[in-house]
Copies of this chain bind each other. A is one copy, B any other.
């Protein structure tokens, strides 16, 4: 089930975000970001946020928002985080599909990911199967804690 966030989800959301933020391998946020700042970022007013719940447990969170304003406001941006204990179960795929539906509902006509880390090959492949194309390669745009500076991709699809 994909649903909106309520205040009672904050602990579950932080439990999902914290290990991914601390790992620093996929999200471009400070690895030492604290709970309040992380929740403020993820639940900021310009984002429309949903969680994926299964058997009463929150297994993932995603947002969509306008990637630009003015003449660029028809393109959505989105981000997804799956609970580490729930990877490999199609959570990200279901969230991506839901985000595409939500973006259409909100009258966006395209979706763009600004910084897909090239070492995150599982995500790159998944977004490709969901209809996204790599439309740009940003040289050494991300400093991976293990691999060092690695490329990142801009990925895009029409809705």
Nearest CB of B to A95, in Å: 21
Contact between B139 and A24 (Cβ–Cβ < 8 Å)?
no
Contact between A154 and B141 (Cβ–Cβ < 8 Å)?
no
Chain A interface mostly: strand
- Scan A131-152; emit 1 where CB is below 8 A from any B CB, else 0: 0000111111111110000001
Q: How many copies does the complex hold?
A: 2
* 7 additional contacts (CB under 8 A) given A28-B73, A68-B115: A29-B70, A68-B114, A71-B143, A71-B144, A72-B143, A110-B140, A139-B156
Question: Would you mind naming 12 contact pairs between A and B with Cβ atoms under 8 Å apart?
Answer: A28-B69, A28-B70, A28-B73, A29-B69, A30-B73, A33-B70, A68-B114, A71-B143, A72-B141, A74-B143, A112-B141, A136-B138
